[in-house]
Structure 1
């Protein structure tokens, strides 16, 4: 077997506390925060002299994690937060939710806005993208359970 699992997805943010608040409101659980620096860290990332604070959050099912990183050094090189959905590279993370309307209402209190609209995808999912804290693009999907006639 080539891989065992996907361990986490990483997102670099400016305001770690606000990002933690956003993703915990979405339903993730903060597992911990720590500083990451030292020579070993730079040898992994290629950013020698890096000083980073990270927060690791876990999804309710316990199978996935989101790593939020705030860099003190070196300075941020590029900002992709306003990139359109057809931009190359990492763009968004998608979460399954049990109640899309409730989720949108709670996230709106933290400044999240729906990118365009909530759509019904072939009677299977209600889907939308939101711009959350710092403009981070997040996909939300609620499975639709339709009764058969």
Structure 2
């Protein structure tokens, strides 16, 4: 797999959010033209992207802001975690409490609470940029 794309309405805020998670900005680009229209199946595509890379270099997120055609909001606006389709991205973190606190400063909201799975993990789901669900896992055992 090369990357996972997330469509956002505020590219700068999304870059700041995922930078806070430890990802690194690999590059930015403007995307438009006939090739883009043909690739995504939309007419008149004009977008800007930011490619984010995990510190180990093995994972990437493509954050995309569509200028045209305008992005549409999903229904319902903030779908629950059991919605069919791609709905969350999980990150391994060293300190889940610190990470949650730092992400709250970027607008993240816990969906439930930080829970313990046996003596192996502490886990939580947060609502992040564009309403996506970001899961965090801290290995404790």
Structure 2: tracts of 5 or more residues without a match: none
Q: Is the 8 A contact 2:30 2:48 kept in 1?
A: yes
Secondary structure at the aligned position of 2:66 is classed as strand
- CA gap of 1:76–1:133, structure 2 versus 1, over 3 A, is closer
Question: For the residues of structure 1 that align with 2:115 and 2:107, how far apart are their CA atoms?
Answer: 21
**Structure ID, larger Rg:** 1
**TM-score, reference length from structure 2:** 0.94
The worse-fitting range, judged by mean Cα deviation, of 125-134 and 62-71 is: 125-134
| Aligned counterpart, 1:17 | 12
| Aligned counterpart, 1:127 | 123
**4+ residue stretches of structure 1 with deviation over 6 A?**
none
Alpha-carbon displacement from aligned partner over 1:108-135 (angstroms, at most 9, x marks no partner)? 1112121111111121110000112332
Secondary structure at the aligned position of 1:40 is classed as helix
Match of 1:30 among 25, 34, 56: 25
**TM-score, reference length from structure 1:** 0.89
- Calculate the aligned-residue CA RMSD, in Å: 1.2
Question: For the residues of structure 1 that align with 2:80 and 2:5, how far apart are their CA atoms?
Answer: 19
How many residues are matched? 140
Alpha-carbon displacement from aligned partner over 1:25-54 (angstroms, at most 9, x marks no partner)? 111000111100000111111112100100
Q: Is the 8 A contact 2:7 2:130 kept in 1?
A: no
Secondary structure at the aligned position of 1:42 is classed as helix
Question: For the residues of structure 2 that align with 1:99 and 1:21, how far apart are their CA atoms?
Answer: 19
| Aligned counterpart, 1:101 | 97
Counterparts of residues 1-149 of structure 1 (less than 5 Å) = 6-79=1-74, 82-145=78-141
